[in-house]
Amino acid sequence: MRALAPVLTAALLAGCATTTSPTGRTQYVGAIPPAQLDQMGEQAFAEAKAKNTVSTDAARNAYVRCVVDAITRELPAGWQARWDTALFVNDEPNAFALPGGKVGVHTGIFKVARNQDQLAAVIAHEIGHVISRHHDERITRQLGTQTALGIASMIVGAKYGEGAARTTSQLGGLTAQAAFLLPKSREQESEADVVGQQLMARAGFDPRQAVNLWQNMIEASPGRPPEWLSTHPDPQSRLRELGARAEGLLPVWQQARGAGRAPRCG
């Protein structure tokens, strides 16, 4: 029965749309309409602002706004509408971006993002998730998995009873989480690294500072779960990839600076 859920999921995903990600990867998307996805992002952002303390520090808000504006000016057509930002009073070094053009930043991020280029690396990475349609992709896959597990449980229940159906659903969910959903999350994190580093370079931020940012992140978070249960790539592998990519992006950064894209945010 463990093999049944992925098979059923694949069949369900076949009914969704396929698209190509910014790095050329085939994606399954379209479980919900884009307008509804944007609405979900807007609602989640509104709830975050209602439930958490929003910073009134004018200088820091302007700093974040400047970085977001510089990055979003470099987005593909259709993504360049003004993005809303919020700076949350939260000591955890984190940031996020949501469909519908929303960016949230925790004040704790300034502990690891120690200059404008490092802050740009964080924000560009998060916006990279949005323009790569990762939210759409994950929702599509999760809905497919949930539906497939429901079908598998019904099949088992019809033959072996309710207890077996419940066990199948529970075990199947754990299997899907460990072997299907989380690996895709790591793939998306790596893709957001690629897209984000390209974005920051085109916006005039030094792509080499992405390496420094993640070094700071590692130092600030010495404990982490095993890679096979993590939604992020192995830290050392990530640093090597960011460093190699930064060298290739130096001409892009230098061209941006030469064209006058030289942000002075912080």
Please give the structure tokens belonging to residue 8: 């059923």
Q: What is the pLDDT of residues 60-110, one digit of tens each?
A: 999 999 999 999 999 998 888 889 999 999 999 999 999 999 999 999 999
What phi and psi, each to the nearest 5 degrees, are found at residue 14? -60, -25
Residue 245, CA atoms < 13 Å, CB-side half-sphere: 22
Please report which confidence band the pLDDT of residue 233 belongs to, taking 50, 70 and 90 as the band edges: low
Q: What is the pLDDT of residues 94-150, one digit of tens each?
A: 999 999 999 999 999 999 999 999 999 999 999 999 999 888 888 887 775 554 434
Give this prediction's pTM.
0.78
- Candidates 42, 47, 92, 126; catalytic one: 126
Highest-pLDDT range among 6-15, 24-33, 160-169:
24-33
Q: Catalytic: 126? A: yes
Average pLDDT, the chain: 79
Query: How many other CB atoms are there within 10 angstroms of residue 9's CB atom?
Result: 24
What sign for the dihedral angle of Cα 75, 79, 82, 86? negative
- Name the 3-class secondary structure at 97: strand
